[in-house]
Amino acid sequence: MPKLYEYFGVIVIFYANEHEPFHVHGKCQGRECRAEILVVDGQVVEIQFRPERGKHPLTDTELRHFEELVRSKAREIVDQTRKNHTQTETMNPEVTIIQAKHLGGYCLELEFGDGKRQKVNFESFLRKSLHPEIQSYLAMEKFKQFRLEHGDLVWGDYDLCFPIMDLYENQILHNNADLMAA
């Protein structure tokens, strides 16, 4: 579930296994809303903002920030979700993370649903990031508080999350830190 943006504390993500219409989730401190982006003939024609079922909605201020960001980045959001869905469709549908084990330092061993195991070292990613929220995970106790959610590896309230293909191929790149902080 890649994190696309963070804007005034609202984290904008999408889930890799989502459905049409294109949509993203805005999350902040346990509250959540979604933005559905209607695309016709390759053009964004409408954006609808809805509360997420079973979640407390964003506050008025958080929702305003979420709306501002999604409206200004709608085309990029559609392109990113399409790219992600294309990558996911070419993968084995069993590719989800079913187990994550801390090996020491900033290294985790990930086991995927198709049986592949991958050792991923996050240290360079964390150290090279200029974003203070990402760098806060250099504190080992905080780093070790990862969890699996919907087959994805996440920390905190989606403070850190990575595209499943990047983890599967052990391609954690520094420029992902820049994207996550955008």
Of 21-35, 79-93, 112-126, least confident by mean pLDDT is 79-93
Angle at 150 between CA 96 and CA 118, to 5 degrees: 30
pLDDT the model gives residue 46? 92
**Spatial distance between the Cα atoms of 147 and 25, rounded to a whole number of angstroms:** 19
Residues with Cβ < 8 Å from 163, sequence gap 6 or more? 2, 16, 84, 87, 176
The mean pLDDT value for 164-171 works out to 85
65 versus 84: the higher-pLDDT residue is: 65
**Spatial distance between the Cα atoms of 92 and 113, rounded to a whole number of angstroms:** 9
**Contact predicate 46/102, CB 8 Å:** no
pTM of the complete model:
0.56
pLDDT the model gives residue 56? 92
Q: Is the pLDDT of residue 90 over 50?
A: no
pLDDT the model gives residue 17? 56
pLDDT tens digit sequence for 7-60 = 888 888 876 555 667 788 898 888 899 999 998 888 889 999 999 888 899 999
Q: 146 forms bridges with which residues in the sheet?
A: 155
**Contact predicate 58/26, CB 8 Å:** yes
